[in-house]
């Protein structure tokens, strides 16, 4: 087994982080509802919950802890909502802010 190459590992992590950041806007489009109405009805969308779960895991693995924690918290909040509950677009603002911090870093 070859020895661990720290420089190669660091370069790989930089590349993974860059790919993650580049794909973040598309991921947000899958999660954040686009509606002219500020309040909508939650339909327990499994695709949204799954994407939030994947986002939280990937962000955490890459060291974007604030984004990971925010995505995880939103996932838990949405899971706890009853079907047809009212949902405000403001509920997604923290996620958008955490993502913006990653994009601007």
Domain residue ranges of the chain, discontinuous segments joined by +: 39-105
Q: How far apart are CA 57 and CA 79, in angstroms?
A: 17
What tens digit of pLDDT does each residue of 30-54 get? 998 877 666 777 777 889 899 999 9
Question: Model's pTM, two decimal places?
Answer: 0.87
Q: Tell me the C-alpha distance between 105 and 3, whole Å.
A: 32
- Kindly report, residue by residue over 46-100, the tens digit of the pLDDT: 898 999 999 999 999 999 999 999 999 999 999 998 878 888 888 889 999 999 9
């Amino acid at each position: 087994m070859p020895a661990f190459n720290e420089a190669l590992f660091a370069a790989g992590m930089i590349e993974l982080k860059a790919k993650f950041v580049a794909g973040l806007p598309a991921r947000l489009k899958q999660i954040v509802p686009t509606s002219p109405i500020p309040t909508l009805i939650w339909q327990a969308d499994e695709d949204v919950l799954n994407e939030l779960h994947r986002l939280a895991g990937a962000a955490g693995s890459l060291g974007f802890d604030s984004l990971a924690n925010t995505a995880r918290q939103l996932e838990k909040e949405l899971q706890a909502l009853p079907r047809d509950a009212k949902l405000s677009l403001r509920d997604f603002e923290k996620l958008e802010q955490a993502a913006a911090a990653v994009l601007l870093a």
